[in-house]
Structures are given as structure tokens and as C-alpha cells.
Amino acid sequence: MNRNDQGYADFEKMLGLDGIALVNVVSNADDASVSGKKELQTRITHNDGGKWKELIPPVRDVNGQPYECNSVGCSLHLHGYSERDDPQALYSSPTAVGIMLGVGNVGKSLKPYADCDTFMTRDGGFSWEEVHKDAHKWEFGDQGSIILLVNDEAPTDVVLYSLDEGKTWKSHSIGQKLRVQSIMTVPEDTHRKFVLLGTSPGTQERTLAVHLDFSTLQRRKCEQRGPRV
């Protein structure tokens, strides 16, 4: 399993569904110990680690084009926990059951973060699709009925949001370019209000906050119901 210099490992359980977890393994462990260059591959389990398998890649990208890597050995790989600057930005949310988001690529191994795109699953990792080009930060709201995306490669004045679990996306201008460092909401991801924290070009030492309120876009807030008896 891959880990960084601080000892944090690329192992993450899916919140909201038991038995599902993702890891990044070092496929060239012997060579990496000498060269220092790791080749990472992502694996997933749906039975508490009893069996690990590759992530099934989508056939086409978000633009409907086939991927260059489409032969045996090609799979989806995602950047893991050990690389995140925000430790709270997990793949999943305990209230958005079955949904995960990640930044990665389709290929034989994981590419650098800046060369990757944003992927999503709605069925606990059994199938994946590309939802946007380039790396993005994300946050869940209102128990998964709101998903927010913001570019994580450069300053941007646009946020993307979905009200149908990522099937369609709309854009909203925040009025000024911001290099977003984190997206905040309540820990349970049940509210419809978000705060973007970041820096504007030319004001790198000053952190700015942008408040986003999606309350008026939906008639009522989602309510989590208990299991049927």
C-alpha cells in the first residue's frame, strides 16, 4: 500500500456502506525502493478486504470520446488520501449513500494530479464515469442531493453544481477568480449552504470566503428516514 513521508496511507473506507474500501498499491515496489519513483494502481474491495480488484473504467470520457488506453490492463486509478491538502475531502459522505468522487485517470497506472480528470460512481464503486475534465475539489450537501465541484488546478470564478447525483451539471459565477483551498459545510453534509475558502490572484496572503446558498433551488430539504420495519 502506498503511503507518504508522514505515514498516511492510501486506504479509505466508503462512508455509508459497509465493506467497501479503496487502496493505492505500489505496483513496482522493488524498483521504487531504488529509484524512488512509484507507479500506483487503485484497487477496491466490496467484502471487507476478502477480495481486491481493479476499478472498471468507463468506456468513454465526458465528451463521448474513447480513452487511449482500452486494452487488457487498463483500469481507473484515483489519487488517494496521502496526497490531499484537505484531510476532510474524502471520496464519500455518510449521507450520500453509494456516491463517491475522485480525481484520476484511465490507464495502466496513476498519472500526476495535474494530468487527471474528475470521476464519479453512484453504485458504491461498481461502475464509474468521468464527470468533468481536469482535477476538481468537491463537496456534498443535503445528503447528496447537491454536489459541488470547483477547479483544483487554477484560479476560477465558476463553480459547478448538480442536483441529480451528477447526471447533469450547471455553472454559477462567484464574481471573481479564486484559487480555492477548501469547500466547507456541516460535517454531516446535510445542509444546502457552502463556504469556499481560497486566495485571489494578487492577494496570496489574504484568505477570502465566498458563501453559497442553494436553499432556494429546491422546494424542500432532504430528510433521512430510518429503516422500514
Domain coordinates of the chain in residue numbers? 1-134, 139-224
Residue 180: how many other CB atoms lie within 10 Å: 20
Say if CB 45 and CB 20 are below 8 A apart.
Answer: yes
CA dist., res. 147 & res. 220, Å (int): 16
Which of 138, 59, 64 is closest to 103 using CA atoms?
138
Say if CB 174 and CB 196 are below 8 A apart.
Answer: yes
**Long-range CB pairs of 159-162, under 8 A, 24+ apart, other chains included:** 159/196, 159/212, 160/132, 160/136, 161/214
Query: What 3-state class would DSSP assign to 43?
Result: strand
Model pLDDT for residues 164-205, shown as the tens digit of each residue: 999 999 999 998 899 999 998 876 666 788 999 999 887 667
Residue partners of 186: CB distance under 8 A and separation at least 6: none
| Whole-number Cα distances in Å, 190 to 36, 145, 203 | 42, 9, 32
Say if CB 11 and CB 21 are below 8 A apart.
Answer: yes
Which of 96, 174, 173 is closest to 138 using CA atoms?
96
Model pLDDT for residues 84-130, shown as the tens digit of each residue: 887 778 999 988 899 999 999 999 999 999 999 999 999 999 999 99
Claim: this prediction has a pTM higher than 0.85: yes
| pLDDT tier at 218, thresholds 50, 70, 90 | low
